[in-house]
Structure 1
Amino acid sequence: MIVVADTSAISNLISIGRESVLESLFGGVTIPPAVENELLNWHRDIPDFVTVMKPVDLDAVLSLESELDPGEAEAIVLASELSADLLLIDERKGRIAADRLGLRSTGLLGVLLQAKAAGLLGSLKPILGELTERAGFRVSPAVRSEFLKLAGELE
């Protein structure tokens, strides 16, 4: 399975010490150089299961950078070039751009739901708490409610 990631999912999971969930689910994750730079701005190391690969079509990257940040733009172009099975991206504008290119995408919350379904994680409610408190992950009350409902953990 080819999985390309933007910064958010990896960075947030590193912040709470749960980055191994990505390796357990996907084996490996590929990121473009802009995402590598963003990760290294926040974290000392990048996990060993993460591979850095540069997108080839720099014109496509530049075109997407008119609406997205460099990490998102490079990740989307790289996912398209690799015919990735999945793109990990949280930002709404990025997901819309990925959808325009026919890419299958999910965000951090989708990854957590997959990990729970695979038996890799127990309750997601405390993990969501860690993400908001320690990693600064933002989620609206409506999305939080829907997420916990999907996880079977709605109060």
Structure 2
Amino acid sequence: MGSGIVIADAGPLIGLARLQKLTLFKDLFGEVLITHIVHGELFPATDHNDQPQIVEALNEGWLKIVDVDVGEWKPFSAGVDAGEGSAIFLACELASALLIIDDRSGRSEAKAHKLKFMGTAAVVGLAKLKGLIPLAAPVLYDLQASGYRLSNTVIETVLADVGE
């Protein structure tokens, strides 16, 4: 089902892995790229419930690590961390890539670079529209309840977009 290049930041991967829904990325996009910097953030940032799905995705080959050399490139916003910055840099380098990112600073940076991007909530909404999950609401509310930063406004917008 995948088409085009998809690059993910750590947050969306951690969030969906926490709910045992990481394979939505594979089902929607086929292959997902992460930078070696994002890869380095994933394992210290995840608990034991998150790691097995991410390791499995890497072993299956649909989640791929890309080495990037950002050189002297710096994000416009000081709030963009190294992983987000490397993902944005890679998206800038790869024409027409879709960036999956949730952090507000990262999204602002992506917008400043005129990149295509979407967040985890939109990924869940797309999964519902493609028939991969029966309802988006339980996934979104479970994500929020798990401690993932997802506003009620974002949830309500996605649910309205998918007819829930």
Conserved in 2, the CA contact under 8 Å of 1:29 and 1:51? yes
Residue 37 of structure 1 aligns with which residue? 40
Secondary structure of 2:87's aligned partner: helix
Percent identity over paired residues:
32
Equivalent runs, 1:133-148 vs 2, <5 Å: 133-134=145-146, 136-148=147-159
Conserved in 2, the CA contact under 8 Å of 1:54 and 1:78? no
Match of 1:99 among 94, 111, 125: 111
Secondary structure of 1:59's aligned partner: coil
Equivalent runs, 1:4-15 vs 2, <5 Å: 4-15=7-18
Over the aligned positions, Cα root-mean-square deviation in angstroms equals 1.6
Conserved in 2, the CA contact under 8 Å of 1:88 and 1:108? yes
Cα shift readout 1:13-40 (whole Å, capped 9, x = no counterpart): 1111011100011111101122111211
Report the TM-score when normalising by structure 1: 0.89
Deviation at 1:95, TM superposition (A): 1.2
- Alpha carbons of 1:90 and 1:74: their partners in 2 closer, same or farther (altered >3 Å)? same
Equivalent runs, 1:9-88 vs 2, <5 Å: 9-41=12-44, 42=46, 43-45=50-52, 46=54, 47-48=57-58, 49-60=62-73, 63-64=74-75, 66-88=78-100
Aligned AA (2:66): M
Paired residues, number: 150
Report the TM-score when normalising by structure 2: 0.84
Q: Which runs of 4+ in 1 moved over 6 A?
A: none
Deviation at 1:84, TM superposition (A): 4.3
Secondary structure of 1:4's aligned partner: strand
Conserved in 2, the CA contact under 8 Å of 1:3 and 1:84? no
- Following the alignment from structure 1 to structure 2, what is the Cα–Cα distance between the partners of residues 152 and 139? 19
- Following the alignment from structure 2 to structure 1, what is the Cα–Cα distance between the partners of residues 119 and 154? 12
- Following the alignment from structure 1 to structure 2, what is the Cα–Cα distance between the partners of residues 116 and 50? 21
- Alpha carbons of 1:36 and 1:102: their partners in 2 closer, same or farther (altered >3 Å)? same
Cα shift readout 1:52-80 (whole Å, capped 9, x = no counterpart): 112233211xx127331111000000111
Cα shift readout 1:87-130 (whole Å, capped 9, x = no counterpart): 00011211111122121000001111111111111111111122
Unaligned runs of 5+ in 1: none
